[in-house]
Structure 1
Amino acid sequence: MPIDESAYDRRRLRQWLAGEARAEGVSRRDMLRLAAAAGVLTTLAGRPVRAYADTPAPGSGIVKPLPPELFTIRGTNAETNWSALRGTGLHTPVDRFFVRNHTSTPLLDEASWRLKVWGSGLRGAPGLDRAVEFDLHDLRRLPSVTLDAFVECAGNGRSYFTSQQGDTVTGTAWTLGAIGSARWRGVRLSQVLRLAGLTRHAVDLQPRGLDDEYVTGGVNLGRVRRPLPVAKALDDVILAYEMNGEPLPHDHGHPVRVLVPSWVGISNIKWVGDIEVSDQPLYSPWNTDFYRLFGPSHPAEGSAPITRQTLKSAFETGSGAAFDAGVRHRLTGRSWSGAGGIRRVEVSTDAGATWRRADLHDRPRPATWSRWSLDWRPTTPGPTALLARATDTTGRTQPDTTTPNTQGYLFDAVVRHPVTVVDRPAT
Structure 2
Amino acid sequence: MPTENTTRTTLASPIPTEAAYDRLRRHQWLAGEARADGVERRTLLRMLAAAGVLAAPAAGGLLTPGRAYAQSPASPVPAANPEPAVPVAGAASPVPGIVKPLPAEWFVPRGTNAEMRWDALRDAQGGIGRHVPVERFFVRNHTSTPVIDADGWRLRLFGSGLRGGPSAERPVEFGLADLRALPATRISALIECAGNGRSFYATQQNQTVPGTPWTLGGVGSAQWRGVRLAEVLRRAGLTRDAVDVLPSGLDPEYVSGGVDLGRVRRPLPVAKALDDVLLAYEMNGEPLTPDHGAPVRLVVPGWIGIASIKWVGSIEVADQPLYSPWNTDFYRLFGPDYPAGGSAPVTTQVVKSAFELARGAVLEAGREHRLHGRSWSGAAPVRRVEVSTDGGLRWHRADLRDEPRADNWTRWSIDWRPDRPGPYELRARATDRRGNTQPETAVFNREGYLFDAVVVHPVTAA
Is 1:281 aligned to residue 307 of structure 2? no
**Could you report, residue by residue, the CA deviation over 1:356-394 in whole angstroms, capped at 9, with x for unpaired residues?**
100000111111000000111101221121100001111
Alignment of 1:391-406 (within 5 A): 391-406=431-446
Separation of aligned partners in 2, 1:47 and 1:374: 47
Shift of 1:19: 4.4
Shift of 1:37: 7.8
Separation of aligned partners in 1, 2:337 and 2:66: 18
Shift of 1:92: 0.6
Q: Which amino acid aligns with 1:243?
A: M
Aligned residue in 2 for 1:43: 55
Shift of 1:130: 1.8
Q: Which amino acid aligns with 1:5?
A: E
Is 1:297 aligned to residue 337 of structure 2? yes
Shift of the 91–256 alpha-carbon distance from structure 1 to 2, 3 Å rule, reads same
Look up the SS of the partner of 2:295 in the other structure. coil
Q: Which amino acid aligns with 1:202?
A: A
**Would you say how many aligned residue pairs link Structure 1 and Structure 2?**
421
Aligned residue in 1 for 2:297: 257
Q: Which amino acid aligns with 2:102?
A: L
Is 1:53 aligned to residue 66 of structure 2? no
Alignment of 1:1-12 (within 5 A): 3=13, 4-12=17-25
Q: Which amino acid aligns with 1:31?
A: L
Aligned residue in 2 for 1:245: 285
Look up the SS of the partner of 1:164 in the other structure. helix
Q: Which amino acid aligns with 2:83?
A: A
The alignment yields a C-alpha RMSD, in angstroms, of 1.9
Look up the SS of the partner of 1:162 in the other structure. helix
Separation of aligned partners in 2, 1:185 and 1:385: 40
Alignment of 1:143-292 (within 5 A): 143-292=183-332
Asked if 1 retains the 8 angstrom alpha-carbon contact of 2:193 and 2:218, the reply is: yes
Asked if 2 retains the 8 angstrom alpha-carbon contact of 1:76 and 1:103, the reply is: yes
Separation of aligned partners in 2, 1:128 and 1:291: 27
Q: Which amino acid aligns with 1:79?
A: E
Separation of aligned partners in 2, 1:89 and 1:156: 21
**Could you report, residue by residue, the CA deviation over 1:267-290 in whole angstroms, capped at 9, with x for unpaired residues?**
000000000000000000001100
Asked if 1 retains the 8 angstrom alpha-carbon contact of 2:80 and 2:447, the reply is: no
Is 1:80 aligned to residue 116 of structure 2? yes
Is 1:24 aligned to residue 37 of structure 2? yes
Aligned residue in 1 for 2:450: 410
Is 1:362 aligned to residue 388 of structure 2? no
Shift of the 25–325 alpha-carbon distance from structure 1 to 2, 3 Å rule, reads same
Alignment TM-score, normalising by the size of structure 2: 0.87
Separation of aligned partners in 2, 1:47 and 1:55: 20
Shift of the 120–333 alpha-carbon distance from structure 1 to 2, 3 Å rule, reads same
Asked if 2 retains the 8 angstrom alpha-carbon contact of 1:329 and 1:377, the reply is: yes
Aligned residue in 1 for 2:7: none
Q: Which amino acid aligns with 2:207?
A: D
Separation of aligned partners in 2, 1:16 and 1:329: 57
Separation of aligned partners in 2, 1:278 and 1:298: 30
Is 1:331 aligned to residue 367 of structure 2? no
Aligned residue in 1 for 2:90: none
Deviates more, 1:181-190 or 1:68-77: 68-77
Asked if 1 retains the 8 angstrom alpha-carbon contact of 2:246 and 2:268, the reply is: yes
Aligned residue in 1 for 2:4: none
The unaligned stretches of length 5 or more in structure 1 are 423-427
Shift of the 200–41 alpha-carbon distance from structure 1 to 2, 3 Å rule, reads closer
Shift of 1:27: 2.8
**Could you report, residue by residue, the CA deviation over 1:120-178 in whole angstroms, capped at 9, with x for unpaired residues?**
00011341112100000000000100000000000000111111111121111111000
Asked if 2 retains the 8 angstrom alpha-carbon contact of 1:149 and 1:181, the reply is: yes
Separation of aligned partners in 2, 1:30 and 1:72: 38
Q: Which amino acid aligns with 1:8?
A: Y
Shift of the 317–56 alpha-carbon distance from structure 1 to 2, 3 Å rule, reads farther
Asked if 2 retains the 8 angstrom alpha-carbon contact of 1:161 and 1:411, the reply is: yes
Shift of the 299–146 alpha-carbon distance from structure 1 to 2, 3 Å rule, reads same
Q: Which amino acid aligns with 2:286?
A: E
Separation of aligned partners in 1, 2:65 and 2:195: 27
Asked if 2 retains the 8 angstrom alpha-carbon contact of 1:309 and 1:410, the reply is: yes
Shift of 1:301: 0.7
Separation of aligned partners in 1, 2:65 and 2:36: 18
Separation of aligned partners in 1, 2:64 and 2:387: 47
Q: Aligned residues: percent identity?
A: 65
Q: Which amino acid aligns with 1:22?
A: R
**Could you report, residue by residue, the CA deviation over 1:323-380 in whole angstroms, capped at 9, with x for unpaired residues?**
1110111100000000011110000011101111000001111110000001111012
Asked if 2 retains the 8 angstrom alpha-carbon contact of 1:156 and 1:411, the reply is: yes
Q: Which amino acid aligns with 1:337?
A: S
Q: Which amino acid aligns with 1:178?
A: G
Asked if 2 retains the 8 angstrom alpha-carbon contact of 1:34 and 1:219, the reply is: no
